[in-house]
């Protein structure tokens, strides 16, 4: 008798072992719990990976054979932040209206004309970039030296806080719904248990509904 008792594991260990074995028998559950989150993290990490800043698309209005246009094109294309293209007046207007370019630059005899939409953030940024390049090309120098410290923080990407947020949301939903389904005698809990066949499946179903509703109202 003592030998049998020594070989018998603690009830909590036996219950945990039984639950783990039941879970591992369901291959689809193993996939959705372990494999799918990893695949989703890789996909989101690729989709929201850190990339270099996009270049500013600038349209130069005028004739490509003009000396002023050629000089302006040479100045703008030497900037690493600008992608310049020469267009006719009508083409430049259409490109600005459709959003293909952020700003239109027209060279005059002794100055330049900038045409942009101030309601578009990229156009306001393009105006600052183009103005700085043109001013420096004409000999403007900085009055004071300003140092720069470029910092790249780990965890600043969208996916870095999206996945933990989803995991916490799922945990919170399971915790709330799990306590509710075992103690609540409302028709929804009974319907879920009847539909799923057992309390554990009903708990999972209602946790999913809770998480989906939370994401829907949050968005």
Residue 100 inside a domain? The answer is yes
Instruction: Report the domain count for the chain.
Output: 2
pTM of the model: 0.55
Residue 99 inside a domain? The answer is yes
Question: Do 60 and 130 fall within a single domain?
Answer: yes
Model confidence pLDDT, tens digit, residues 194-205: 544 454 555 555
Question: Do 182 and 200 fall within a single domain?
Answer: yes
Model confidence pLDDT, tens digit, residues 153-164: 666 666 666 666
The pLDDT, as a whole number, for residue 216 is: 55
Residues linked to residue 113 through DSSP beta bridges, in sequence order: 106
DSSP per residue over 99-168, as a string?
Answer: TS-SEEEEE-SSSEEEE--TTSHHHHHHHHHHHHHHHHHTT---SS---------TT-SHHHHHHHHHHH
Q: Supply the mean pLDDT for the chain.
A: 75
Residue 137 to residue 131: CA distance in whole angstroms: 10
Query: Residue with structure tokens 């999913």?
Result: 208
Model confidence pLDDT, tens digit, residues 26-78: 787 778 777 877 787 788 777 777 777 788 999 999 988 888 899 999 999 98
Question: Do 133 and 104 fall within a single domain?
Answer: yes
Neighbour count for residue 201 (Cβ, 10 Å) = 13
Sort strands 112-115 and 103-107 into parallel, antiparallel or unpaired: antiparallel
Structure tokens at 205: 């179903």
Query: Residue with structure tokens 């609540």?
Result: 184
Question: Do 164 and 107 fall within a single domain?
Answer: no
Q: How much is the average pLDDT of 81-98?
A: 93
| pLDDT tier for residue 19 given thresholds of 50, 70 and 90 | confident
Q: What is the CATH number of the domain that holds 110?
A: 3.40.190.10
| pLDDT tier for residue 83 given thresholds of 50, 70 and 90 | very high
Residue 142 inside a domain? The answer is no
Structure tokens at 153: 């923080």
The pLDDT, as a whole number, for residue 118 is: 92
Residue 189 has pLDDT above 60, yes or no: no
Domain boundary among 137, 162, 179: 137
The pLDDT, as a whole number, for residue 165 is: 64
Contacts 24+ apart (CB under 8 A), 169-173: 169/211, 169/214, 169/215, 170/207, 170/211, 173/207, 173/208, 173/210, 173/211, 173/214
The pLDDT, as a whole number, for residue 40 is: 78
Question: Do 132 and 73 fall within a single domain?
Answer: yes
Question: Do 76 and 106 fall within a single domain?
Answer: yes
Give the structural domain span for 73: 56-137
User: Which residues neighbour 66 within 8 Å (Cβ) at sequence distance 6 or greater?
Assistant: 107
Neighbour count for residue 162 (Cβ, 10 Å) = 14
| pLDDT tier for residue 125 given thresholds of 50, 70 and 90 | very high
């Amino acid at each position: 008798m003592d030998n049998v008792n020594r070989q018998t594991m603690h009830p909590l260990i036996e219950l945990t072992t039984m639950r783990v074995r039941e879970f591992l028998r369901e291959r689809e559950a193993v996939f959705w719990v372990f494999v799918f989150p990893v695949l989703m993290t890789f996909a989101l990490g690729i989709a929201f990976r850190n990339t270099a800043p996009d270049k500013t698309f600038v349209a130069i209005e005028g004739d490509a054979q003009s000396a002023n246009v050629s000089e302006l094109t040479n100045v703008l294309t030497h900037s690493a932040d600008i992608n310049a293209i020469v267009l006719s007046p009508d083409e430049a207007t259409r490109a600005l209206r459709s959003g293909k370019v952020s700003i239109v630059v027209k060279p005059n005899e002794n100055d330049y004309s900038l045409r942009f939409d101030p309601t578009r953030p990229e156009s306001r940024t393009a105006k600052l970039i183009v103005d700085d390049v043109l001013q420096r090309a004409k000999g403007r120098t900085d009055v004071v030296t300003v140092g720069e410290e470029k910092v790249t923080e780990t965890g600043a990407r969208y996916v870095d806080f999206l996945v933990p947020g989803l995991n916490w949301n799922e945990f919170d939903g399971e915790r709330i719904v799990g306590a509710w389904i075992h103690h609540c005698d409302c028709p929804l809990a009974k319907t879920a248990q009847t539909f799923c066949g057992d309390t554990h499946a009903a708990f999972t179903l209602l946790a999913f509904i809770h998480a989906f509703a939370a994401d829907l109202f949050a968005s």
